[in-house]
Structure 1
Amino acid sequence: LTNHTMTLQGNFDPNRLNSSPATITKMVGEMINRFGKDRYIANLGHGILPNIPLENAEAFIRAVVDWKPN
């Protein structure tokens, strides 16, 4: 898409953090697999919502840190 000439910032929908930690991990993996790991910043699209359980936010962070290509 950009031929690796610019950095992309991924916007994981913060509402997805209402899913189970296992589902969050799966969705984060799918997001990174689509964009690739080079020149990509994984983040939440609009910041974290106040009602998100801490374990779900941790699942998002852990999934990004631990991501491995398929």
Structure 2
Amino acid sequence: MAAGDIHTVPRGDRWANVFEDGERLIVSAGTKETAARMGRELARLRGVRHVIHERDEPTPSSARSHDLVHG
């Protein structure tokens, strides 16, 4: 998996898009749907995968609920 893959993850009461390492925040949003839409577009533009996590998944490297490839 490329280090530049984008993950949509829960962050407190918001949703964030982060790079694969889980540390570098790209953008956050108030809803999962908004964050996922932004994450899909960012992944498409970068030619990387976009992964959407559920609230019970603690890290970007955990099991994926939706693993999408853009490019």
Pick the structure with more strand per residue. 2
TM-score by length of 2: 0.36
TM-score by length of 1: 0.37
Pick the structure with more helix per residue. 1
